[in-house]
Amino acid sequence: MWNEELLYVGGFLARAGYELEMDQIRKLWTGAIGKTPSDQPDVELVAWLHARALHAMRFFTFHQSTPLAEVSRKMETSFFLCGGPRHPFPLMSTVGVRDVSEVRIPDAAFSEFVKELPVVPEEVLIGARRMVDALQDRGMVKNIEFMDVLRELRARPLSEVEMIACFKWWIGIQNQGEARTLARIRTELLNAAVLCVGERGSSDERIIPMSTIQTFLNTRTMGAIPTDGPLPAHLLPVSVSRHLDPNQLSTAFPWREFTTIDWIRHVTITPGPSVEHDITQSPQWSERVFQVLARMWPNMAKGNQEETVVLLRDKACVPTSAGMKLPQEAYFQSAHIFKDLPIVQLPSGVPVRGTLEKVFTAIGVRKHVDLQIVFNRCAYPTAYVG
């Protein structure tokens, strides 16, 4: 019994020496960053402190004793457990010396978007593998968990590259576990995730909570939609979605594909977001909208075609020789029997034919001049001389 107590004391003394050395490393790290704890010390200093911590961890690693393995086991037990479970065990991490309960084992699956979580540096993980294994065996240092991901997401917005990595990670695990549980976890993930688009701190910066997203653009089937024009707030930024498989997006997230009718509804909002993107004021933007419609029209469901007609027929959205006109006020070139008739005239000079002609016809552009107008013009010719 007396010998066992001495072994425990030896473990306590080893722990005291280890903590003293790690405390010195902690002070050097803290002194290097000063009053900005979010900053990192000089790269060379970090490497030196990591090496110093690695040396301490190797020095205080217990190896099997001979002829009695029990000797080293008892000393190791007292080394790790002295002071009880609430007594902090210092461990070098990527953000300095931290209590082991705050540090995680690094995982490549999280490395691209979980960047502020303290993890064991790679060189320490490799060089002090025996001590790290002993800490893992005792449940003192853990792998990265979902709650760690949530804490990171709640702490800061992710860049586009980081959000893509986060979504790829989630897509990779969404087939695991029970569907109802995954749905709850996914809700927590989207409620926590915030995307930062554009350069941070600039006028172009936009902060987008992922909980507001409802749709995504499948560029394989909807590539005609101009992404440089106005898009709804509920659409996942294309800078993110273009890097992800559409089928996986629809399976892994509660989102649906953005459709042509979704886009038409958005661009026909009056007034437009700007003159440049207002179909009633910009002939150039109006032409782009109709060109997209012409490409998508044959594949649109009849109900969506009918809704498109309703959305456009009462708007002065048709570029003509006399300015922007309501569809029923505009005429095709074939009806050009009077000089002052508003003839459809696209800014690019592209002739109106094929599917584009069908779209204009559907919304009410006229192919013929009513006989009554012809009679009126013939009866009172001077009234129409401008």
Comparing CA positions, the residue from 131, 121, 103, 104 lying closest to residue 51 is 121
Residue 316, SS3 per DSSP: coil
Average pLDDT, stretch 353-372?
A: 87
* Inter-residue long-range contacts of 278-285, CB under 8 Å, 24+ positions, other chains counted: 279/315, 279/317, 280/315, 280/316, 280/317, 280/324, 281/324, 283/319, 283/324, 283/346, 283/347, 284/347, 285/229
In this predicted model, what pLDDT tens digit does every residue of 184-201 receive, in sequence order?
Answer: 899 999 999 999 998 887
Contact indicator for 34, 45 with CB cutoff of 8 Å: no
- Band of pLDDT at residue 372, cut at 50, 70 and 90: low
User: Does the pLDDT value for residue 87 go beyond 70?
Assistant: yes
For residues 117 and 298, give the distance between their C-alpha atoms in angstroms, rounded to a whole number: 51
For residues 124 and 122, give the distance between their C-alpha atoms in angstroms, rounded to a whole number: 5
Q: Give the CA distances from residue 35 to residues 38, 39, 41, 133, 292, in Å, rounded to whole numbers and listed in that order.
A: 9, 9, 12, 34, 55
pLDDT at residue 258 in the model = 96
Residues whose CB is less than 8 angstroms from the CB of residue 215 and which lie 6 or more positions away in sequence, other chains included: 232, 234, 235, 236, 255, 256, 257, 258, 262
Contact indicator for 109, 172 with CB cutoff of 8 Å: yes
Q: What is the mean pLDDT of the chain?
A: 90
Residue 134 or residue 385, greater confidence? 134
In this predicted model, what pLDDT tens digit does every residue of 8-17 receive, in sequence order?
Answer: 888 999 999 9
Average pLDDT, stretch 323-349?
A: 87
Average pLDDT, stretch 277-291?
A: 96
**55-69, 81-95, 147-161: which is most confident:** 147-161
**378: phi then psi, degrees, rounded to nearest 5:** -70, -35
pLDDT at residue 199 in the model = 82
For residues 217 and 259, give the distance between their C-alpha atoms in angstroms, rounded to a whole number: 8
For residues 90 and 102, give the distance between their C-alpha atoms in angstroms, rounded to a whole number: 10
Identify the bridge partners of residue 343 per DSSP, sorted by sequence position: 331
For residues 271 and 144, give the distance between their C-alpha atoms in angstroms, rounded to a whole number: 49
Span of 73-82, 320-329, 363-372 with lowest mean pLDDT: 363-372
pLDDT at residue 386 in the model = 47
Q: What is the CA angle 190-208-214, rounded to 5?
A: 55
Q: What is the CA angle 268-270-271, rounded to 5?
A: 125
Q: Report, in angstroms and rounded to the nearest whole number, the Rg of the chain calculated over CA atoms.
A: 34
Q: Is 318 exposed, middle or buried (0-12, 13-18, 19+ CB in 10 A)?
A: buried
Average pLDDT, stretch 335-355?
A: 86
Amino acid at 16: A
Q: How many CB atoms lie within 10 A of CB 252?
A: 20
Beta strands (DSSP E) in the chain are 90-93, 96-99, 104-105, 142-143, 194-197, 206-209, 215-216, 256-257, 318-320, 323-325
Comparing CA positions, the residue from 131, 103, 139, 140 lying closest to residue 119 is 103
Q: What is the CA angle 371-376-378, rounded to 5?
A: 95
Contact indicator for 144, 128 with CB cutoff of 8 Å: no
For residues 64 and 311, give the distance between their C-alpha atoms in angstroms, rounded to a whole number: 80
